[in-house]
Amino acid sequence: MTDYVVLIVGDDDRWWTTMSAQERKDAYAEYNRFAEELGRRGHKIKDGAELHTRKEARSIQPHSTVVTDGPFAETAEHVGGFFLVESDDLDDLLDCCKIIAAVGDGIEVRRTVDPAERPS
């Protein structure tokens, strides 16, 4: 089995400023459906979390000791949450990810580095 991180990427302000309560409820229902579908197809969610907005982020620039308010990157899209999924079938995992992509957020799936792959 291989571990993949499924990153949910989008405009975090959209969820709380432009979506109605019903739209948010419907979107969360799709995330629940995604999780259920993963289990049904034999994938295993090992961990995951929704993140608070980027307004609460704190950043430390490379080679610095100064902590600043806000995200490191100056972009409109940020990671809003993640799932850590164990899977033997990347193509099927990507197919499942289409469920949450339909909500309106971008999805990035990346294989995690196995500790055995690290140099000794």
The predicted structure's pLDDT at residue 11: 76
Domain boundaries, the chain: 2-115
The predicted structure's pLDDT at residue 25: 92
> Measuring CA to CA, how many Å separate 87 from each of 2, 24, 51, 116?
5, 28, 23, 18
Written as one string, the DSSP assignment of the chain is: -EEEEEEEEE-HHHHHHTS-HHHHHHHHHHHHHHHHHHHHTT-EEEEEEEPPPGGG-EEE-TT---EEES-SS-SS-EEEEEEEEEES-HHHHHHHHHHHHTTT-EEEEEEPPPGGGS--
The predicted structure's pLDDT at residue 5: 96
First to last CA, the chain: 23
Best CATH choice for the domain 2-115 from the list 3.40.50.300, 3.40.640.10, 1.10.10.10, 3.30.70.1060: 3.30.70.1060
3 or 70, which is more confident?
3
Do the Cβ atoms of 7 and 108 come closer than 8 Å? yes
The predicted structure's pLDDT at residue 48: 95
pLDDT per position as a tens digit, 35-91: 999 999 999 999 999 888 777 888 888 888 888 776 555 565 678 889 999 999 999
